[in-house]
């Protein structure tokens, strides 16, 4: 199968700088979205380190003589290993940069979410840490591929919240997992079989908080040009308030 990649990022309507980051590696069939966090533009530093690290990892991962920065888990497939090790290495480098003795001062506590999509042949892997999301669009419908690492989602899973309580929850932006949050990070990975015409979507909460899944599915369906679809998704988020930075990547399977 062939794949087409597109992506875009935007500052939004309310922020004074963009702490998101976007990485498209079409030569390695990878798309990653980052949503940085931390004061004094530390989030921008964290997401930038993530981009640099993951780019470097996929460059060396294809070299049979290269040494991986973390152990390869032979109980898991290669797609899972690639995303897990890439995220773990990024986590390590962000932690090192946030150390009080590091060359870049004032970045203690910085971090970033991570959601990556890796496509090969007839399969997609989504790896994530935090509340940035992945979806598979198929025949007009958007199917979730990730599950938020957030306080709200943790409470929803307990079944203790009513629909009204979920809608009015005051701490929707509190995440329970992020790169840079701890020395070791757990990376969740989900794999999906692909069909011709499918579109994989990865994005930050600057999109999902402003545009419904139903509307996002409509936009992807309406625009055959992936770059145009990315622009329209961002435009819609901004029209609905643009409360945060907005970043989205799309990967289409050749029909």
Closest alpha carbon to 116 in 245, 251, 254, 255 = 251
Closest alpha carbon to 204 in 8, 54, 38 = 8
Model confidence over 227-250: pLDDT tens digits?
Answer: 999 999 999 999 999 999 999 999
Contacts of 3 (CB under 8 A, 6+ apart): 26, 29, 119, 251, 252, 253, 254
Cβ(5)–Cβ(31) below 8 Å: yes
Q: Per mean pLDDT, which range of 147-156, 185-194, 216-225 is the poorest?
A: 147-156
Which DSSP helix (H) or strand (E) runs through 47?
helix 42-61
Model confidence over 157-174: pLDDT tens digits?
Answer: 777 777 776 676 666 677
In the prediction, which pLDDT does 100 show? 62
pLDDT at 109 over 80: no
- State the average pLDDT over residues 99-111: 67
DSSP state for residue 147 in the 8-state scheme: -
In the prediction, which pLDDT does 99 show? 72
Tally of residues, the chain: 255
Phi, psi of 27 (to 5 degrees): -70, -20
Distance CA 90, CA 248 (A): 20
Q: What is the pTM of this model?
A: 0.92
Range list of β-strands (E), the chain: 3-10, 20-25, 30-37, 111-120, 123-129, 133-138, 141-144, 188-193, 199-203, 246-253
Q: Per mean pLDDT, which range of 147-151, 153-157, 226-230, 236-240 is the poorest?
A: 153-157
Q: How many other CB atoms sit within 10 Å of the CB of residue 160?
A: 8
Model confidence over 35-54: pLDDT tens digits?
Answer: 999 866 689 999 999 999 99
pLDDT at 101 over 70: no
Cβ(50)–Cβ(21) below 8 Å: yes
The neighbouring-strand residues paired with 136 are 143, 200
- State the average pLDDT over residues 91-108: 74
Distance CA 87, CA 108 (A): 19
Cβ(6)–Cβ(23) below 8 Å: no
């Amino acid at each position: 199968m062939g794949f087409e990649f597109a992506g875009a990022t935007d500052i939004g309507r309310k922020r004074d700088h963009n702490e998101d980051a976007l990485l498209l590696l079409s030569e390695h069939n990878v798309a990653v979205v980052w949503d940085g966090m931390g004061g004094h533009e530390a989030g921008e530093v964290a997401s930038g380190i993530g981009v640099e690290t993951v780019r470097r990892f996929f460059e060396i991962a294809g070299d049979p003589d290269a040494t991986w920065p973390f152990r390869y888990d032979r109980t898991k497939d290669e797609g899972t290993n690639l995303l897990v090790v890439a995220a773990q290495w990024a986590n390590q480098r962000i932690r090192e940069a946030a150390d009080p003795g590091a060359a870049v001062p004032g970045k203690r506590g910085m971090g970033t979410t991570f959601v990556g999509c890796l496509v090969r042949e007839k399969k997609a892997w989504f790896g994530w840490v935090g509340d940035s999301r992945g979806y598979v669009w198929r025949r007009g419908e958007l199917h979730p591929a990730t599950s938020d690492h957030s306080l709200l989602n943790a409470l929803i899973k307990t079944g203790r919240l009513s629909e009204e309580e979920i809608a009015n929850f005051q701490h929707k932006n509190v995440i329970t997992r992020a790169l840079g949050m701890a020395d070791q990070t757990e990376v969740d990975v989900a794999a999906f079989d692909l069909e011709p015409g499918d579109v994989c979507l990865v994005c930050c909460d600057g999109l999902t908080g402003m545009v419904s899944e139903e509307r996002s599915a409509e936009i992807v369906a309406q625009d055959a040009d992936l770059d145009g679809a990315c622009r329209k998704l961002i435009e819609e988020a901004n029209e609905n308030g643009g409360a945060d930075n907005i970043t989205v990547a799309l990967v289409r399977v050749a029909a």
